[in-house]
Amino acid sequence: MLYGKHILVIISGGVAAYKAIELIRLIQKAGGTVQAILTKSATEFVSPLTISTLCGRPALTALFDLTRETEIGHIELSRSADLIVIAPGTANILAKLANGIADDLATTCLLATDTPIMAAPAMNVRMWEAASTRRNLALLANDGVQFVGPDEGEMACGEFGPGRLAEPPVILEAIVAHFERANRPKPLAGKHAIVTSGPTREPIDPVRFLSNASSGKQGVAIAEALAALGARVSFVTGPAQYRQPRGCAVIDVETAIEMDRAVEAALPADIAVFCAAVSDWRVETPADDKIKKDADETAPTLTLVANPDILRRVSSLAGGNRPRLVVGFAAETSNLLENAKAKLKRKGCDWLLANDVSPASGTFGGANNTVTLLAGEAVEAWEPMDKQAVAQKLATRIAESFQRDRRI
């Protein structure tokens, strides 16, 4: 799978650094060769001797190695590799990469390279959720850095949440996929796509909210399919349970208003795919404290107001502010085609993918989907398929429409 490929693995200083040992072995078993760089902090978790033995070549740690630097070692290292993989990618090294800081061998190589970079983040959940980390990740994604993970689970510090390093087999899978994508045509190169995904959460009080069962799987698949065809993807997601897409700029939101603002900030775009299951209503005035039961257990009255209609607003933008192709989704539980046709006309989008999300369909949270594509007066029923296949078919149709320089 990786025969003839040379991977530069940068190991930064987190407790997950020990997993780099397994990753190196997996790369080698797949036919690749590995050169490793350890940051100073990484050497506190794994031994350079262990890494050197595995790689069959010295693991590097020092920027000012006179033998190597007489040959401009950091330049040679950064450009001889076919891919640079940062695993684990701590908040510190990602912040340095995002802001162009080069104060050791690892970060100097990263700044000097024109080789693709893949990062597998690993950090405490609070660090992962910090506003500065989110900004840095968005900058890196816009710079073309690919991401694998992180996973969600229990941390070494005892906390639980997103921030765990993706498992080495998953990172290997992403490395292999990178080289497979590199050999594919890129018909959407130079295009910017916005994809919305997942549910939104509308607060009732500090512990309750209005939401739905969307997993975000279909949105992730669409984002990755568009990225695989060369598009730069801004992925705006509500609090979904499914993993985030690789190779995309991820913008996390909670409410419909936050999603609307995030989409507005991501414009202009060539393509907009609105796959998110946005709550139609929100509580007009959420309670500041948890709502308590009355003595007679009378249910509280909630006053609901309409949320922004993001799909309709973007579809109605004028001139160059409107994406050339706007695609909506219609999640229906009955009268699928009738409701979808009405929604297409009402929203003003170019295409609409209608799908049955009734409990019997298993679409929400499931692996499969059955959609019908509406484009103008044309109606095209797609056979049942998994969500990855739906995404690939949609991305291919989008690419074809741009190549023909007209909408279907």
DSSP 261-317: HHHHHH---SEEEE--B--SEEESS--SSPPPPPTT-PPPP--EEEPP-HHHHHHT-
Where among 119, 151, 182 does a domain terminate? 182
Q: Is 261 within a domain?
A: yes
Q: Tell me if 187 is assigned to some domain.
A: no
- Write out the E strands in 39-131: 83-89, 117-121
The domain that holds 327 is classified in CATH as 3.40.50.10300
**329 appears as a binding residue in the annotation:** yes
Contact 13, 80 (CB under 8 A): no
Q: Are residues 127 and 233 in the same domain?
A: no
Q: What is the pTM of this model?
A: 0.61
Where do we find the tokens 């499914």?
A: 242
Tokens of 159: 């906390």
Asked, for residue 264, whether it belongs to a domain, the answer is yes
> Has 308 been labeled as part of a binding site?
yes
Q: Could you report the per-residue pLDDT of 389-403, keeping only the tens digit for each?
A: 999 999 999 999 998
User: d(Cα 280, Cα 303) in Å, to the nearest integer?
Assistant: 13
Q: Hey, which residues are catalytic here?
A: 157
Structure token pair of residue 27? 């790369």
**128 and 225 share one domain:** no
What's the length of the chain?
408
* pLDDT at residue 317, rounded to an integer: 95
Q: Is 21 annotated as a binding residue?
A: no
The amino acid sitting at 252 is: D
**Is 19 annotated as contributing to ligand binding?**
no
Same domain, residue pair 237 and 153: no
> 165 and 199: one domain?
no
pLDDT, residue 278, reads 95
Residue 88, annotated as binding a ligand: no
Is 45 part of any known ligand binding site? no
Q: Which of 65, 58, 61, 63 is nearest to 12 (CA)?
A: 61
Check the annotation: does 60 bind a ligand.
no
CATH number at residue 172: 3.40.50.1950
pLDDT digits (tens, 9 = 90+) for 328-362: 999 888 888 899 999 999 999 999 999 887 766 55
Residue 408 placed within a domain: no
Please indicate, yes or no, whether residues 99 and 78 belong to a single structural domain of this protein: yes
> Does 256 lie in the same domain as 157?
no
In the chain, how many domains are there?
2
Is 309 labelled a binding residue?
A: yes
Q: Which of 133, 160, 182 represents a domain boundary (last residue)?
A: 182
| Each residue's pLDDT tens digit, 46-94 | 989 999 998 988 888 887 664 555 454 556 777 788 899 998 999 999 9
Region of 348 on the Ramachandran plot (φ > 0 left; ψ -120 to 50 alpha; else beta): left
What are the pLDDT digits (tens) for 259-274? 999 999 999 999 999 9
Do residues 169 and 207 share a domain?
A: no
Q: Render pLDDT for 188-207 as a digit per residue (tens, 0 to 9).
A: 999 999 999 999 999 999 99
Does 1 map to a domain? no
Indicate the residue among 160, 182, 204 that finishes a domain: 182
Do 176 and 215 reside in the same domain of the chain?
A: no
Would residue 98 count as lying in a domain? yes
**The Cα angle at residue 86 between residues 89 and 114, in degrees rounded to 5:** 130
* Whether 241 and 384 share a structural domain: yes
- 135 with 239, same domain? no
- Dihedral sign from CA coordinates of 194, 197, 202, 207: negative
203, 158: one domain: no
Residue 343 annotated as binding?
yes
Same domain for 369 and 221: yes
Residue 399 to residue 392: CA distance in whole angstroms: 10
Q: Which domain holds residue 314?
A: 192-403
Judge whether 267 lies within some domain: yes
Q: What pLDDT score does 185 carry?
A: 75
Q: Where are the beta strands (DSSP E) in 333-394?
A: 351-356, 368-369, 371-375, 378-381, 385-386
